[in-house]
Amino acid sequence: MLNQFAEDYLGSLNLSNFRPQPRVAGRLSSFDGLLMEAVGLSLPVGTVCAISTANGGTVEAEVIGFRGGRTLLMNLGGPAALLPNAPVRPIGPPGEAEVGSALLGRVVDGAGKPIDGKGPIRDAGHWPLAGKIQNPLDRGRVLKPMDVGVRAINGLLTIGQGQRVGIMAGSGVGKSVLLGMIVRAAQADVVVVGLIGERSREVADFLETKISGEARTRSVVVAVPANHSPVLRIRGALRATAIAESFRAEGKKVLLIMDSLTRVAHAGREIGLALGEPASARGYPPSAIAMLPSLIERAGTDVTTGGSITAIYTVLADGDDGNDPVVDSARSILDGHIVLSRQLAEQGVYPAIDLGPSVSRVMTDIATKEHVAAARVLRRHLATYEENRDLILMGAYRPGTDAAIDAALACHPAVLEYIRQDSDAVVPLADAIAELTGVFGDG
């Protein structure tokens, strides 16, 4: 009779192929405030687990490795009242992000949970957090310019669709303000913004001032402030990139903004040191720096779909050191870098772009010969002025002694005026090129 009841009941639920599965659970054996160790579990790296707390709740943690038969996890939430031998249960498979048009206009955290008060995200697709391996021959060349609304970048450091660019500077020099100028004016189908490891205040500020109005409807924001778990910060960077990849697969032109790449490396440093990796330059373990290429290389152009991800990463130079390990590594991977100068910022020149060390590696492929020639003339005048700056300021240089220095002196006010731009102003690409060739086109 019992068997007959089970067959009838399961048949009514249309679960004829139902096979009961055991619930896997382990026990928490060690916790030092950051790193957890559990016994009795065998789970893939990246699996999310729930750990019971003393007050009857749960806290989430992610599997990050193994050691001596124990599973290593890292807390994804805040402080938790954990007890020895607390139950540890897997609750989610490793590595998938919610993607698709359902996310447009929404703000999510590193775990993909909405934090904008607009309710749950419905009808979203899924994409691997770590991305899909792409054949290098499926990567298209960067051949079309992208208008970012900033005169100095459009004219002198022209960015192309599918290019990866770094904005490098010390703290407080204007990286976030420059990002806001680019986001407001960029010509893209979708804008994906990853605010990783920055101040919580900046999240609301970015939403209110940088992507308000019409820009909000075509934007997705992934916000993981500095007080969140290092695993969650890395997940936020991966999630933002995965969302951009899904839109690229639909053939769309995507602008990916990540502020900042250095905070992602800092999160990797915390995890690596907790796992016992040896610290190398500036305390970064090898895994923290090795993580950057795998993240950056996911952006670019897809020849199969025709979509592209133009990625702009801010890179914080600790102590204004241009040879910081993260800065040096990013510079070698990216397709161009924009260096901001504290000296120019102190002179009131904003955006404080230092043209000398800044470069766009694809500009010659996407700009006309006249445009490139005019940009080189401006750079030559600026370099000549900077080389002789001390002589000029001391009054030791006599006009008429050197024609190149005389030309640099005459052009210097025009150079600074070309770089300077109000934060709320937008200068289209065509206007920036016309101004540049009109003043510096004759050589």
Residues 336-352 pLDDT 10s = 999 999 888 888 888 99
Question: What pLDDT does 96 receive?
Answer: 83
Considering the chain, what percentage of its residues have pLDDT values greater than 70? 95
Residues 6+ apart with CB under 8 A from 149: 181, 182, 184, 185, 186, 426, 427, 428
Question: What pLDDT does 213 receive?
Answer: 75
Q: Domain 26-90, what architecture?
A: Beta Barrel (2.40)
Question: What pLDDT does 318 receive?
Answer: 78
Output the DSSP codes for 149-181.
S-HHHHHHS--BTT-EEEEEE-TTSSHHHHHHH
- Could you tell me how many residues make up the chain? 443
Least confident of 86-95, 360-369, 432-441: 86-95
Round to whole Å and give the CA distance between 242 and 334. Answer: 19
Question: What pLDDT does 349 receive?
Answer: 85
At residue 309, does pLDDT exceed 80?
Answer: yes
- Kindly state the tokens that stand for 381: 């005048």
Prediction pTM value: 0.87
Contact 49, 90 (CB under 8 A): yes
Question: What pLDDT does 8 receive?
Answer: 63
CATH class entry, domain 96-363: alpha beta
CATH class entry, domain 371-441: mainly alpha
The mean pLDDT of the chain is 88
At residue 10, does pLDDT exceed 60?
Answer: no
Number of Cβ within a 10 Å radius of residue 283: 12
Domain ranges for the chain: 26-90, 96-363, 371-441
Question: What pLDDT does 17 receive?
Answer: 60
- 32-91: per-residue pLDDT in tens? 877 899 999 888 888 889 998 888 888 888 898 888 889 999 888 777 788 899 999 998
Domains 26-90 and 96-363 share a fold: no
Higher confidence at residue 395 or residue 267?
A: 267
